[in-house]
């Protein structure tokens, strides 16, 4: 089975995805990391060099190219479900799980991890919370199309596993 983790930057897709894959003995794929390895530059450098539009095309191509094995946990980029047919494509190819967190919680996690997230550069404090709240409102119609919505506050890989497999 393929499990796609989606949600806003900082909701824990990479952190929880790696742990979930290890618990299940599934392969772990982080699409941001695959893109960085394929292109030989960081996401921030990719945005700076080619711009967001080309990044969206590239991340969609990466999504469709790496999904080859059977049992995989795939952590996606925060914006990926909101472009092209990506959300429907993921639902047609596996189970999609949205990790849901409120803006203030996302902001406090992201305050010290913004350098590698180009959309957040230069935003601090209340301005960061406001930006996240607006972007999240724009994106939720896509995120909420997931098969499963998981509450991201104090979420663990163990809990995520039991939600997905309804144990």
Ligand X SMILES: Nc1ncnc2c1ncn2[C@@H]1O[C@H](COP(=O)(O)OP(=O)(O)OP(=O)(O)O)[C@@H](O)[C@H]1O
Ligand Y SMILES: O=C(O)C1=C[C@@H](O)[C@@H](O)[C@H](O)C1
Annotated binding site: which residue ranges?
10-15, 32, 56, 78, 117, 139
Nearer to ligand X, 70 or 78 (CB): 78
Contact status: 14 vs Mg ion (CB under 5 A): yes
Residue 15 binds: one of Mg ion, ligand Y, ligand X, none (C-beta under 5 to 8 A by kind): ligand X
3-state SS of the chain is CEEEEECCCCCCHHHHHHHHHHHHCCEEEEHHHHHHHHHCCCHHHHHHHHCHHHHHHHHHHHHHHHCCCCCEEEECCCCHHHCCCHHHHHHHHCEEEEEECCHHHHHHHHCCCCCCCHHHCCCCHHHHHHHHHHHHHHHHHHHCCCCEEEECCCCCHHHHHHHHHCC
Q: Which residues bind ligand Y (CB under 6 A)?
A: 9, 32, 43, 77-79, 117-119
The nearer residue to ligand Y, 42 or 161, going by C-beta atoms, is 42
Tell me if 56 contacts ligand X by CB under 6 A: no
For position 103 contacting ligand X by CB under 6 A, the verdict is no
């Amino acid at each position: 089975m393929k499990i796609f983790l989606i949600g806003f930057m900082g909701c824990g897709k990479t952190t929880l995805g790696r742990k979930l894959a290890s618990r299940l003995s599934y392969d772990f794929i982080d699409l941001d990391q695959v893109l960085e390895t394929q292109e030989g530059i960081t996401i921030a450098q990719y945005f700076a060099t080619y711009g967001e539009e080309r990044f969206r095309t590239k991340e969609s191509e990466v999504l469709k190219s790496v999904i080859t094995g059977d049992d995989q946990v795939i952590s996606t980029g925060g914006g990926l479900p909101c472009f092209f047919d990506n959300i429907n494509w993921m639902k047609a190819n596996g189970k999609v799980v949205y990790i849901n967190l409120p803006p203030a919680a996302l902001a406090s996690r992201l305050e010290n991890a913004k350098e590698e997230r180009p959309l957040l550069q230069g935003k601090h404090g209340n301005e960061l919370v406001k930006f996240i709240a607006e972007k999240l409102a724009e994106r939720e119609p896509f995120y909420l199309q997931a098969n499963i919505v998981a509450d991201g506050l104090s979420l663990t890989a163990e809990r995520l596993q039991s939600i997905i497999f309804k144990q």
